[in-house]
Amino acid sequence: MSDDMTGHNSNDPAVGGIAADRLRSIIERAERLESERKALGDDIKDVFTEAKSAGFNVKVLRQIIRLRKQDPAHVEEEETLLDIYRRAIGM
């Protein structure tokens, strides 16, 4: 079936009320950002590989990064509770 039979031409700026150029732009931006996210993920993986080869514990490094993102008061509260719980069970 040709474009003429459907009533739409592939060169129309809008099809069914959708602005094709705008839609294409949004899709391409999302694709580019997904690609950048993958590249950043690979870079982060490389940093942790480097840390591991330097003798650092990657699991602990990830915990530190997670803690640094949190509010210091919240971290202190969690650490206090953890200490209390440890003492309560004899650790």
pLDDT averaged over every residue in the chain: 88
Give the span between the Cα atoms of 62 and 82, in whole angstroms: 18
Give the span between the Cα atoms of 46 and 65, in whole angstroms: 16
pTM assigned to the model: 0.62
Residue 84: what pLDDT? 97
Residue 11: what pLDDT? 58
Q: Which of 75, 60, 79, 73 is nearest to 87 (CA)?
A: 79
Give the chain's residues under pLDDT 50: 1-7
Residue appearing with tokens 């993920």:
41
Residue 5: what pLDDT? 46
Give the span between the Cα atoms of 45 and 66, in whole angstroms: 16
Name the residue ranges covered by the structural domains of the chain.
11-55, 57-91
Residue 13: what pLDDT? 65
Q: Which amino acid is present at 32? A: R
Residue 17: what pLDDT? 77
Residue 65: what pLDDT? 96
